[in-house]
Structure 1
Amino acid sequence: MNSETRTSTTDPSSPSKTGREIVVSELRYNPLTLVGVLLVTGIATVAIVGPLVTPYDPTAQNLANRLQSPSPIHPLGTDRLGRDVLTRLVYGARVSLGIALAVTTIRVVVGTGVGLLAGYVGGWVDELLMRLVDVQLAFPGLVLALVVAGILGPSLRNVMLALAVVGWATYARVVRATVLSVAEREYVEAAKLAGTPTSRIARRHLLPNVLGTVIVLATLNLGTVVLATAGLSFIGLGAQPPAPEWGTMIAGGRDYLRSAWWIVNAPGVAIVLTVLGFNLLGDGLRDVLDPRQRSQLEEI
């Protein structure tokens, strides 16, 4: 009896709890979620506030100060062109998070729309859309993004379009599977028989059931997009010098790994912390919003 009581009080998905109590319970139940919240909040704060308070220009060169080691004046040192690494890191956070949000938003809108349409309409529409999804998923995402970015040409805008094009299919597949399950429930059938418009059924009955899973996938995707953007910029397909972007910072400092280690390590650590934060936050949101989807999401 006591063990059952303890289980019910620590279960973050208990239906008797309010939204705030569920979140507080999850943070107590899984401290790693709190770490993710703190990391994401801290990086977002740096991206928003940092450029407003830094005294340096992220692109201004000062060869007299090149390759200076970390000091009170330059806490993370300077690069090969005398630019303050901390300032470029802060501006790079704004670029990386901005692209991650834009790409993920496009993926969510397109993928959710395709999944809702395929799952609810069915028939030849479902077959056609799912075959398109299968074709897209048949190619490794990063390889396909490389091809698209290479065709469009090197720029951050083209990288954003390339990553958006290759990432929507996962949302479509997950949303369709959920819609197929929900569409067979009695209240949806009753709404159809009552002549409720399709758009209203999708908005009131289908979309709320897929929202939790989509939010979790989107949160996990944010970290993936940050990593992919940095990788494409590192090989020259993304941000172009002198733009302050984490991938280009690593590329610019790879020839100075021994003599000026801070040039590469600073953006490298920033990427690791950002991806880690989004992954931990996504895991926590999965437990809060829909614990039953844990095994399904781990298979994707």
Structure 2
Amino acid sequence: MIEAPVSAQLALVVLAAYLVVILFAPMLAPYGEAAVVGDAFAPWSPQHLLGTDSLGRDIFSRMIYAARNTVGITFAATVLAFLIGGAMGMVAAVSGGWVDQFLSRLVDILMAIPLLIFALLLLMIFGSSVPALILIIAGLESTRVFRLTRAVAMNVAAMEYVEAARLRGEGMLWIVRREILPNILAPLSAEFGLRFCFIFLLVSSLSFLGLGLQPPTADWGGMVRENVMLITFGQITPLLPAAAIAILTIAVNLVVDWFLNKTSGLAK
């Protein structure tokens, strides 16, 4: 039985609650995602638990749908970033020579440009559709994945059993799949959690700036922007989607910290 500290157990409970909301959003939301069901900026009431926004849409329902939209796009972009960056990193580590130099210098050039500014520029050029958003974010974040994958894969590629596999005539794909990948799964798994958090915050930031998910699609970053004026009236409604972002980020980080301690042998 896996023992986890209290912080990790609480984080897992939080993540499980988020997962339930994501999977059963249409069943949990009392109204449709973009349905206008009341007056603009209606106060909290039994009919509208968190009030309504500037168009009369139920904020509680949009918070629920935003979980599916924001987390879904983040997860898709994270997986794609790892597929791209991980594959390139392992190819660079195993091949070496000019292949490694070319890929590394290309990644250095891309990483020299501030991530948020680069993302804003690309989204202004290619638009803010969901596929474009996922592809652009995944492409930019894959450079970070590449650096880590290359670093840990190079350590394994220098081992004697990998050299023995080369001498036996094994191909690159076999070496990567059988010798390198199994030995770097732990750091890559931890990096997946951390990269998920970074991409999650990036998606929310882009939506807050108006270049992420576009209306009427609900997402937490956009909801903060849509309802920010309520802060001047002393209402905490705009802080709720921001709190949802923060809670999920903290929970993922706590689980990643626990996982790193377990895999590194530091945990007792």
TM-score bracket, shorter-length normalisation: over 0.9
Equivalent of 2:26 in 46, 51, 54: 51
Shift of 1:168: 0.7
Equivalent of 2:213 in 209, 225, 239: 239
Query: Structure 1: where are the runs of 5+ without partners?
Result: 1-20, 293-300
> Which structure's CA Rg is the greater one?
1
Which residue matches 1:119?
Answer: 93
Equivalent of 1:147 in 121, 124, 133: 121
Q: Which amino acid aligns with 2:86?
A: T
Which residue matches 1:12?
Answer: none
Residue 152 of structure 2 is aligned to residue 178 of structure 1: yes
Which residue matches 1:9?
Answer: none
Equivalent of 2:181 in 202, 207, 210: 207
More divergent stretch after superposition (201-210 vs 278-287)? 278-287
Residue 228 of structure 2 is aligned to residue 254 of structure 1: yes
Shift of 1:127: 0.6
Which residue matches 1:4?
Answer: none
Given the two structures, how large is their TM-score scaled by the length of structure 2? 0.92
What is the aligned-residue RMSD (CA, Å)?
1.8
Residues 1:78 and 1:262: Cα distance change in structure 2 (over 3 Å): farther
Shift of 1:260: 6.9
Shift of 1:116: 0.5
Shift of 1:66: 2.8
Query: Structure 2: where are the runs of 5+ without partners?
Result: none
Equivalent residues of 2:37, 2:58 under 8 A apart: no
Q: Which amino acid aligns with 2:12?
A: V
Equivalent of 2:36 in 40, 61, 77: 61
Residue 245 of structure 2 is aligned to residue 271 of structure 1: yes
Shift of 1:157: 3.0
Residue 58 of structure 2 is aligned to residue 74 of structure 1: no
Shift of 1:219: 0.7
Shift of 1:291: 5.4
Equivalent residues of 2:62, 2:218 under 8 A apart: yes
Shift of 1:263: 3.3
Shift of 1:35: 2.6
CA distance in 2, matches of 1:209, 1:150: 40
CA distance in 1, matches of 2:200, 2:96: 35
Which residue matches 1:35?
Answer: 10
CA distance in 2, matches of 1:170, 1:210: 16
CA distance in 2, matches of 1:98, 1:290: 30
The SS at the match of 2:48 is coil
Equivalent residues of 1:76, 1:262 under 8 A apart: no
Shift of 1:290: 3.5
Residue 254 of structure 2 is aligned to residue 290 of structure 1: no
Residues 1:107 and 1:291: Cα distance change in structure 2 (over 3 Å): farther
Equivalent of 1:92 in 56, 66, 69: 66
Residues 1:73 and 1:62: Cα distance change in structure 2 (over 3 Å): closer
Shift of 1:101: 0.7
1:200-231 CA-partner distances (Å, limit 9, x unpaired): 11101101112111111111111222211111
The percentage of aligned residue pairs carrying the same residue is: 33
Q: Which amino acid aligns with 1:40?
A: L
The aligned length equals 266
The SS at the match of 1:71 is coil
Shift of 1:108: 0.4
More divergent stretch after superposition (107-116 vs 65-74)? 65-74
Residue 182 of structure 2 is aligned to residue 216 of structure 1: no
Shift of 1:128: 0.4
Q: Which amino acid aligns with 2:193?
A: T
Equivalent residues of 1:78, 1:263 under 8 A apart: no
Shift of 1:73: 2.4
Alignment of 1:95-110 (within 5 A): 95-110=69-84
Given the two structures, how large is their TM-score scaled by the length of structure 1? 0.83
CA distance in 1, matches of 2:197, 2:215: 23
